[in-house]
Amino acid sequence: MAYSKEERREIWKKTDGRCHLCWCNVRLKSYGAVHERDGWEVAEVAA
C-alpha cells in the first residue's frame, strides 16, 4: 500500500524523523531510498 505525501509527513513527524530500528535520523525527502543513505520506509519509523 502506498502512502501519500501528507501521510508520510505525519508519520515522519511523529517519530521526530528517526528510524525506530536504530534511532538514526532519516530525511523526509529520502522516503523509499536506501536506508544507509538516510532513506526510510514507513515500517521503519512507525512499526
Residues lying near Zn ion in the complex (CB under 5 A) are found at 19, 21-22, 24
Q: How far apart are CA 37 and CA 4, in angstroms?
A: 22
Nearest distance from C-beta of residue 41 to Zn ion, angstroms: 10
Residue 3 or 15: which CB sits closer to Zn ion? 15
Residue 11 or 19 having the CB closest to Zn ion: 19
Beta-sheet strands, E only, within the chain: none
Q: Which residues contact 34 (CB under 8 A, 6 or more apart)?
A: none
We find the least distance from the C-beta atom of residue 35 to Zn ion, in angstroms, to be 6
